[in-house]
């Protein structure tokens, strides 16, 4: 097990495999009840318990939000609405991941097969660098998510209010108000970090897979550039290397299809969630929030932006990397190949021209253009509400 400082600085063992970040991902998913069919009583009980927790989330958020409005200020209501939206989408994304969980496990043997093709120190170093980037991503996103949870809990203790005002009927029998408050805070702390962990994993896994696919696309492009360069290799050896490159490309596309089928619904839901939450955050920050709530809301805004920004960045980078592949094939030393090898080159170029893209529910391309469009939509929605004096009217009516 690596130390926490190794994750912060991206230090990994030399000559590691690209499956390492995914093994960590599947282990964390197992802790929060998202795993393949369990074997045994205790694993089944563990999974059932967390499935009940996911199913209870929408009910907890809706009823708690409605009850919270009786005594909450507008700022507190908007803060609760932000958390309410994210909690609903976190539970929905958990269902989507659970349904497609076997696809995650199907990726591992393919990645292992891809790793076995690279033996030189330079190639192994590129794989190690990819794993180091993934560990840094784990650390950076985990820091943002869990720090937000810590700030929310500490703020709740200072102002003596529940962090999100959830409804916990099994705690209502506690008559002592102090004991009831701290019991609710303790349970809500556990529930908050449970949902934060689920949200964290749902948001980090597309970036991990896209970063790894991009690394293998770079390695493939470099292999293609070496075809026909070594004068000691025979024509048959060059043809075999070319055929293996084509097989590698097919395996990469197979991984892309598996990851795309899981990413499509979860990222679509995240796009919708980000647009709604960004608008609520801006209304809260610029109209209603006091200094303390403004700091918390701004941190929450950063966390929500982090949910989708790394994935969109990696998707855009992967698109550019895949577009370079046909150029690399064309510029390889195909003159050193025989007639059969040149026909394979034409076949390879034809099939490599299709860019590797990810699409959310066949509606939105997952890339930086879509992310900026979502951010622009949020600002447009806020500007419209501000020009209509929607927030000011509410503020004046409340006061």
pLDDT tens for the chain, 399 residues: list them.
455 455 555 555 666 788 888 888 888 888 888 887 777 788 888 888 888 888 878 777 777 667 666 666 666 666 677 777 777 888 888 888 888 888 888 888 999 888 888 888 888 888 888 888 888 888 888 888 888 788 878 877 887 777 776 677 777 777 787 887 888 888 888 888 888 888 888 888 889 999 999 999 999 998 888 887 877 778 888 888 888 989 999 999 999 988 888 888 888 888 888 777 777 777 776 666 666 667 777 777 777 777 788 888 888 998 888 888 888 888 888 777 788 888 888 888 888 888 788 888 878 888 888 888 877 776 776 676 667 665 555 555 545
Q: What is the pLDDT of residue 212?
A: 92
The CB-based long-range contact list for 285-289 (8 Å cut-off, 24+ gap) reads: 286/382, 286/386, 286/391, 287/386, 287/391, 287/392, 287/395, 288/73, 288/74, 288/75, 288/78, 288/391, 288/395, 289/75, 289/78
DSSP string, 170-196: GGTT---HHHHHHHHHHHHHHHHHHHH
Q: pLDDT at position 160, please?
A: 78
The single-letter DSSP state of residue 3 is: -
Closest CA to 93 of 204, 235, 222: 204
Distances (CA, A) of 248 to 37, 117, 218, 221, 234: 31, 9, 12, 11, 21
Return the SS3 of 251: helix
Do 318 and 213 touch, CB atoms closer than 8 A? yes
Tally of domains in the chain:
1
* Domain, as residue range, for 124: 4-398
Task: Give the pLDDT of residue 213.
Answer: 92
Work out the burial of residue 250: count CB atoms within 10 Å of its CB; fewer than 13 is exposed, 13-18 middle, 19 or more buried: exposed
- Cβ-based neighbour number of residue 296 at 10 Å: 20
φ/ψ region of 357 (left if φ > 0, alpha if ψ in -120 to 50, else beta) reads: beta
pLDDT reported for residue 1: 46
Please name which of 152, 389, 164 lies closest in space to residue 287, comparing C-alpha atoms: 389
Rounded to 5°, angle at Cα 81 from 198 and 165: 80
Q: How far apart are CA 253 and CA 243, in angstroms?
A: 15
């Amino acid at each position: 097990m690596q130390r926490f400082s190794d994750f912060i600085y991206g230090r990994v063992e030399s000559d590691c495999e690209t499956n390492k970040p995914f093994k960590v991902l599947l282990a964390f998913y197992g802790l929060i009840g998202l795993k393949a069919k369990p074997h045994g009583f205790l694993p089944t009980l563990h999974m059932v318990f967390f499935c009940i927790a996911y199913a209870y989330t929408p009910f907890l958020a809706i009823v708690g939000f409605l009850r919270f409005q009786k005594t909450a200020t507008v700022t507190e209501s908007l803060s609760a609405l932000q958390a309410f939206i994210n909690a609903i989408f976190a539970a929905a994304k958990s269902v989507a991941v659970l349904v497609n969980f076997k696809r995650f496990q199907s990726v591992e043997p393919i990645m292992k097969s891809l790793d076995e093709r690279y033996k030189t120190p330079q190639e192994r170093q590129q794989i190690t660098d990819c794993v180091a980037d993934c560990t840094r991503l784990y650390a950076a996103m985990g820091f943002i998510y869990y720090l937000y949870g810590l700030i929310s809990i500490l703020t709740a203790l200072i102002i003596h209010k529940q962090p999100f005002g959830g409804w916990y009927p099994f705690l209502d029998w506690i008559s002592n108000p102090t004991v009831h408050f701290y019991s609710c805070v303790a349970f809500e702390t556990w529930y908050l970090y449970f949902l934060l962990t689920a949200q964290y994993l749902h948001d980090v896994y597309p970036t991990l897979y896209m970063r790894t696919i991009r690394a293998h696309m770079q390695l493939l492009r470099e292999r293609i550039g070496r075809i026909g360069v070594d004068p000691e290799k025979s024509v048959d050896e060059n043809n075999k290397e070319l055929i293996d490159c084509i097989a590698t490309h097919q395996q990469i596309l197979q991984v892309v299809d598996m990851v795309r089928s899981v990413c499509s619904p979860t990222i679509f839901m995240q796009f919708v969630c980000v647009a709604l939450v960004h608008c609520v955050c801006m209304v809260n920050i610029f109209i209603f929030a006091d200094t303390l709530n403004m700091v918390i809301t701004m941190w929450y805004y950063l966390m929500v932006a982090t949910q989708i920004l790394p994935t969109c960045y990696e998707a855009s980078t992967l698109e550019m990397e895949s577009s370079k592949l046909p150029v690399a094939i064309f510029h390889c030393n195909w003159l050193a190949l025989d007639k059969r090898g040149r026909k394979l080159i034409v076949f390879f170029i034809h099939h490599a021209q299709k860019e590797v893209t990810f699409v959310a529910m066949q509606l939105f391309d997952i890339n930086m253009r879509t992310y900026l469009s979502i951010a622009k939509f949020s600002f447009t929605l806020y500007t419209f509400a501000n020009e209509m004096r929607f927030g000011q009217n509410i503020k004046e009516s409340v006061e």
